[in-house]
Each structure stands twice: as C-alpha cells, then as structure tokens.
Amino acid sequence: MSNETFNVAVVGSTGAVGEQILRLLEERNFPIKTLKLLSSARSAGSKLKFKGQDITVEEAKPESFEGVQIALFSAGGDVSKALVPEAIKRGTVCIDNTSAFRMDPTAPLVVPEVNEEKIFEHNGVIANPNCSTIQMVAALKPLQDRYGLKRIIVSTYQAVSGSGAKAIAELNRQTKAIVNGEPVNPDVLPVSSLPVKHQIAYNAIPQIDKFMDNGFTYEEMKMVNETKKIMGDESIQVTATCVRIPVVYGHSESVYVELGSEYDLQEVRSLLENAPGITVVDDPANQAYPLATDAAGKNDVFVGRLRRDLDSPTGLNMWIVSDNLLKGAAWNAVQIAEIIAARSQQA
C-alpha cells in the first residue's frame, strides 16, 4: 500500500457544511498534500485554520482546479453546475453536495453504507444525496437486503440548519422576540426566494423548497426520486411530507415501510444493530429513543421506536434521526473521499 497524498479543494469552505468538511478532514487525518479553500468572491480573502495553519480562502474559478485531484463541493447548485465540468476537464474527481447532478443518469448517487460500489462508476462527479434521503436509506438498506422494500411513507421533521446560517439566526431571533413580547417579523423561511414568509419559532412549516405542479415540494420529490436511484429499485413506492421545525441541528423522520415479506421484529433490530453507521436507541420502557439533541455532532444514523404495524404483517414503523450537516452532508462526502483515497493507495 502506498502513502500517496492528495491535492484537495473544498468549494464553499466558509459555509456551514464546508466548515464541517474541513473539521472532518483534519480530525480523520485525510492524506492531504495541498489544500485549497475556495468560495464566492464575497468570502475570498478570509482566512480559515487547518491543522494550526492559516489558509487564505480564494475565489473559485475554473483555473482553481489545476492539479487538484479531489474536490468537495458545497457552495450551491449554480456554483456546482458552472465549476464541476471545469474541474472534471482538469482531471479532478468532484464530490458534489448539491442537487445539481443527483438525478443525472451518468452520476452515481452514493451513500457508502448502501451502494459504495457505485463510487467507481463515476465520470468525474459523484453526487451526495439530500440530507433527509441519506439517513433514511442508510437505515433501510439492511432491511432491503433481507426482506425487500415495497412501500415507504415518510414524514420529516427537519432542522433549520438545512436552510443555512440565516435560518438558524432567524430561529434564535424569533424565539427571543416571542419571549420578550416583541414582533417576530419572519424574513427567511420557508423559502428565501419566495414572497411569503412564516414564523419558525414555536411552529412547524409544512414546506421545504418550492412547490411543484403535482402538489409536492422539490424536497419531497428529492426523497422520492433519490431513494429509488440509491436503492437501485424503481418499483419501490415512496411518498414524503417534509416539515421544517424549530430545531437547530438534526433531522428526524417518521418512517412507515412495507417490506417485501413478513419479518421477525427481533431480527429487524439485530440487522440494524449490526449495520454500519447505524446506532439503535430503542428502549421504550426507559424512554430511550433517538433525539435530535443527542444526534447533533455525531456521524451515525440513529434508529428507534421500532414497532409492527397493527394491520399489515409486512408493515414496520421506525423513527430515524441524524445530524443533517454531518451524515446528511459533510460526513457522507468525506466518507466517499476516504474510499477513493484508499482505493488509490492500494493500486
């Protein structure tokens, strides 16, 4: 095995996900030869610390990728659409954390616990799925392998950090305003580009992203389409309702799944306990179940409230929680980069 090191770029390095990517690369001692921190022109010139060194953030341009072997993108879909093709031209493998390439049939959509083998089918770009999709499919994969999946009904309870730093600030500001008896004045959520804004503090907003003609939001349709692609089975029936709630970090999901055959509940628990990246927290007698506050800052997907459906012999209910900035974004991307580096070092 070689000790090869890699020229790495992080695009969107000053954002919430970019910060987590940098922290993970440092903590996990990723084999880096050179590190470029790239961002919009607005953030260029600022400095970020990596392993005790100050690194100046540069504006992301096509020529920024000269000599870069691995680039992790989390700067928004428009940036990825513009710069990923330019990076690929220069020989860079791109791990993209936006929706730009997820449904591109030539781009693998990867959750390492589910379909790691797809990583090496890339043509220069590997797509990171949507945060709410990642945690659900990671938990469902061991059940698919054992029983098959027929139908998934998911309702999400998603943290405001999924909408960025401005949404976190809005939640904090509104909460203080309510406590102090002051006006709330929403101006970010549910969707910053749409005219109507709703209070998020002490509320639940059943809209994440814009609505489509079919009545579902883009976020809901991401879960539908991405699940089928990642699981490699277009016949799985998926329906989703995505809700923003006043939690800062950690998406929660209520998932009802109809398996392909009858099942033993204890075997289901055992399959999940032995699955990579999954932690089972399921002890109702002691009120132990996954909580967003416990999942925040951790890389795993947490599963609990495992119980049989009362009417269907193949129906299973579960509660799935994960840190949306980690497994839902940064950690999934860094996992992919680690797998690429390990394969290259074995060559």
Alpha-carbon span 64 to 14, nearest angstrom: 16
Please write the tens of the pLDDT for every residue from 214-241: 999 999 999 999 999 999 999 999 999 9
Please write the tens of the pLDDT for every residue from 3-24: 889 999 999 999 999 999 999 9
Q: What is the DSSP letter of 310?
A: S
Q: Is the separation of the CB atoms in 124 and 212 below 8 Å?
A: no
pLDDT at position 346, please?
A: 83
Other residues' Cβ atoms within 10 Å of the Cβ of residue 145: 12
pLDDT at position 139, please?
A: 98
CA distances, 216 to each of 66, 220, 223 (Å) = 41, 6, 11
174 token code pair: 């509104």
Residues lower than pLDDT 50 in the chain? none
- What is the percent of the chain with per-residue pLDDT over 70, rounded to a whole number? 99
> Following CA atoms 101, 330, 83, 193 in sequence, which dihedral angle do they give, to the nearest 10 degrees?
80
User: Is 94 annotated as catalytic?
Assistant: no
pLDDT at position 345, please?
A: 85
Average pLDDT over the chain, rounded to an integer: 97
Please write the tens of the pLDDT for every residue from 156-189: 999 999 999 999 999 999 999 999 999 999 999 9
User: One of 94, 122, 131, 242 is an active-site residue; which one?
Assistant: 131
3 token code pair: 């000790």
Q: Is the separation of the CB atoms in 159 and 248 below 8 Å?
A: yes
Omega before 142 cis (within 30°)?
no
pLDDT at position 3, please?
A: 81
User: Is 122 annotated as catalytic?
Assistant: no
pLDDT at position 186, please?
A: 98
User: One of 94, 122, 242, 251 is an active-site residue; which one?
Assistant: 251
